[in-house]
Structures are given as structure tokens and as C-alpha cells.
Amino acid sequence: MKILALFFIFTSCGNYTETKGVLEDTFSRNLNTPIDFKTINEAIIQPHCLSCHQQYATYAGVKNEASNILNAVTSNRMPKNASPLSAAKKELLAAWVAAGAPQGGSTTTPPPANDKLEATWVSLSSKVFYPKCLVCHNPQGQAKFLDLSTRQAFFEQRNRDFGGETLLNFEHPDESYLITVITDPDEPMPPVWSNLELLKTEEIEVIIEWIEKGLP
């Protein structure tokens, strides 16, 4: 209803023609088309949540937790360590959840064809390190003692010693301390408390291959 009010405020002042298009878009979209997942994803999930919550990468993942998500956002518990979402975004989310968190029409974007994880920095950083490590292991993060944000950083720390084990073991890549930590049965990385999904076997294999090839 706020949008409606705004519409009349604008129509009553001189800027009518300039703002008309934008407002009418918002206006008609809000009244006629139900909010779809694409809108929620682009406005809220991707920019504010995905860096920490891999489980929200799919519609199903978000829908399953829709009411918890709304609760966490309206109570300002989330996004963690960031400013609360704007009132407009909270309202948008509330309206979507109230409507049953629909997926909507044009939202099933098929994964890009070259979605395969490759043993290169470009591929690994965007598909594994960025979503699963970087939130903590960046130069400002809570685990900044081990920066994993650039290929250079990996390279510079390759021989770093952790109680007798090297971070990256080029002779026996699968014995690298990095791999030990990722696969630790008791305290794996990413930490259990982060809610991030652990690495899949195939992802670990690609990291090993990447070390073997000398971090291309």
C-alpha cells in the first residue's frame, strides 16, 4: 500500500512524466504479478545471504526455510555482521512468504553449460573457496591469519607449517594439511557452526588435482 501512496504523491507533483514509467512498473508488478523467487533471490538472498548460506543457492533450499528466513531477517539477527535489511526488502520478503513462497514462472534458470568444476584457480575460487571459505578466510575476516582470497595468497603460504605438516604438499597433494583440515571428521572446514555445506568428495579431488598441477 505504501507504493500506492507514493504513486499519488508523485502524480501530484510536477515530475509525473519522468517517474511515471518506473512507478507504473512497480505498481502493476506488485498488484498483478505475485512476487516470484527470482525477485527475492536477486533483491535479498544473493546479495545478503548467499556468501554464508550455501543452502540458499536453490529455490528449494530457500523455500524449505522460508519462515525461519523471514524470522531471522525481521528480528535483525540476519544478515549476520551486516546492517539489517531495509524496510522495503523486509516487506517484500514478508509478502512472498505470506503468499506461500512461490517459485513463479521464469525462475528455473538451467545451470550454465560449462558448470563443471575444473582444477584451476578461476573455477575453484568461484565455486568452492569463495562460497565456502572466504567469508572467514579473507584479509579482514575472522580467520584472516590464513588468507585464501587470492591465488597469490595460496602460493605464498604453500609451505606454511602446521605442526609438521605443510599447507600444500606438492609431492603428495592428498597429504596436504589443507586437505586434512577439509576432511577432518571432528572439526572440518568450513566449521560445522557456520551452517555451510562441507565440501563434496569430487570438490576435494579437484583441489588435490589443482595442487598436483602446481596451482594453475
For binding to ligand HEC (CB under 6 A), which residues are involved? 44, 48-49, 51-53, 65, 68-69, 71-73, 77-82, 132-133, 135-137, 142-143, 146, 162, 178, 181-182, 189-191, 194-196, 199
Question: Which of 41, 48 has the CB closer to ligand HEC?
Answer: 48
Question: Which of 20, 61 has the CB closer to ligand HEC?
Answer: 61
Task: Compute the least distance from the CB of residue 188 to ligand HEC, in Å.
Answer: 8
Q: What's the residue count for the chain? A: 216
Place of cell 577439509: 182
Which H or E run contains 97?
Answer: helix 87-98
Own/partner long-range contacts of 168-172 (Cβ < 8 Å, ≥24 apart): 168/211, 168/215, 169/211, 170/211, 170/212, 170/214
Task: Compute the least distance from the CB of residue 105 to ligand HEC, in Å.
Answer: 23
Question: Which of 96, 137 has the CB closer to ligand HEC?
Answer: 137
Which H or E run contains 162?
Answer: strand 161-162
CA atoms within 13 A on the CB side of 51: 14
Task: Compute the least distance from the CB of residue 204 to ligand HEC, in Å.
Answer: 9
Task: Compute the least distance from the CB of residue 190 to ligand HEC, in Å.
Answer: 4
Question: Which of 19, 51 has the CB closer to ligand HEC?
Answer: 51
- The b/e string for 81-97 (b: 16+ C-beta within 10 A; e otherwise) is eeeebeeebbebbeebb
Task: Compute the least distance from the CB of residue 122 to ligand HEC, in Å.
Answer: 17
For 76, phi and psi rounded to 5 degrees? 65, 15
Question: Which of 33, 68 has the CB closer to ligand HEC?
Answer: 68
The whole-angstrom separation of Cα 52 and Cα 47 is 11
